[in-house]
Amino acid sequence: MRTWTLGDRTVNRIGFGAMRLPADRDRAVAVLRRAVELGVNHIDTAAYYPIAAGAWAGTANGLIRQALSPYPDDLVIAVKVAPTSAGLARPDQLRALVEQNLRELGRDQIDLLYLRQHGLDSIAAHLEALARLRDEGLIRHLGLSNIRDVHLDQAAGIAPVVAVQNRYGIDVGRVNDNLLRVCGQRDIAFVPFFALVGESREAGGVASNDAVLALARHRGVTAAQVRLAWILYRGPHVLAIPGTGDPDHLAENLAADDVRLTEDELSRLG
């Protein structure tokens, strides 16, 4: 598998997003364990991903802990904080959110913590609060999510950022092309979300796109594999975090690392 370095941690460029873990608890645990068996060492999660699995109710974090603790030494778990049921957390509320994720995951330190902003003109106060927690050892590396170009510039004077997670994909608009390019210039990972679902967003599935479907049929691969291969071709610093509750789809997604698109095929996909 192709790899990238998040700070001092090396990860395979196709990871796993925990947002779409299934409501069947045993199935969710099995998929997580299978992902690690197949080489996944980068999992993206959040305490605000609630999951009701039969009589069990909790968050994706709890399922990750049940499935994978004690954790493999090379596993990087990335967590997002700031959104709450009452809106975006204030800077003074971030410590409690970080500690919640640590408790749920059963860890002493979060490998990669994203500030997921919404509606902020400046992220300075929030990022400064998280940088203090990093200095205390609760966080290893910091990232930013759902940001604009100006936010990355603001972060430069506060703390190192190793990853940016923003909306990106074949058919969800290319408003983040410049941000992706800048991240590459600064050796910052760019981690797209909604890369498979397009405009469906939280509804899940794989978005329908005529060019994607035609190419998938021609190459004998899945539409998801085409989308993931396209994502990986956007730059060596681009990581994918597809989520699924299906073991077969999991294996197919990871196999996208072997799909090599030609320049003509990339041009047709846009």
The residues carrying an active-site annotation are 49
Question: How far apart, in whole angstroms, are the C-alpha atoms of residue 80 and residue 84?
Answer: 11
**In terms of DSSP H, where are the helices of 39-176?**
60-68, 94-105, 124-136, 149-156
Cα separation, 208 vs 252, in Å, equals 17
Beta bridge partners of 119: none
Q: Is 59:89 a contact under the CB 8 Å cutoff? A: no
Nearest residue to 257 (alpha-carbon basis) of 42, 28, 27, 33:
42
Cα-only R_g, the chain: 18
CA atoms of 158 and 146, how far apart (whole Å): 18
**Helix 124-136 and helix 149-156, axial crossing angle in degrees, nearest 10:** 50
